[in-house]
Amino acid sequence: MKQLPEKIVLDKAVNGQRLYQGSVKLSQMSRLIDLLARNDGEVKYSIEFSRARGLLGKARVKVGADLPLICTISEKEFMFPVKIDTVVGFIDDLAYEDFLDEDMEASWAKDNSIVPLEIIEDELILAVPDAPFNENIDSDSSENEAIVLADKKPNPFDVLKHLK
DSSP 8: E
pLDDT tens per residue, range 75-87: 999 999 999 999 9
Q: How confident is the model at residue 160 (pLDDT cuts 50, 70, 90)?
A: confident
Cα(160)–Cα(152) distance, integer angstroms: 19
Cβ burial of 13 (10 Å; 0-12, 13-18, 19+) is buried
Cα(145)–Cα(147) distance, integer angstroms: 5
First to last CA, the chain: 82
Helix (H, G, I), strand (E, B) or coil at 113: strand
pLDDT at 136: 82
Task: For residue 103, give the nearest of 85, 116, 119, 80 by alpha carbon.
Answer: 85
Q: DSSP for 43-106?
A: EEEEEEEE--TTSSEEEEEEEEEEEEEE-TTT--EEEEEEEEEEEEEEESSGGGGGGS-TTEEE
Of residues 88 and 4, the one with the higher pLDDT is 88
pLDDT tens per residue, range 115-151: 999 999 999 999 999 999 988 876 545 444 544 444 5
Task: Judge contact between 76 and 69, C-beta under 8 A.
Answer: no
Kindly report the pTM of this predicted structure: 0.80
Show me where the domains of the chain are located. Answer: 8-136
**Which residues are CB-contacts of 95 (< 8 A; sequence separation ≥ 6)?**
none
pLDDT at 164: 60
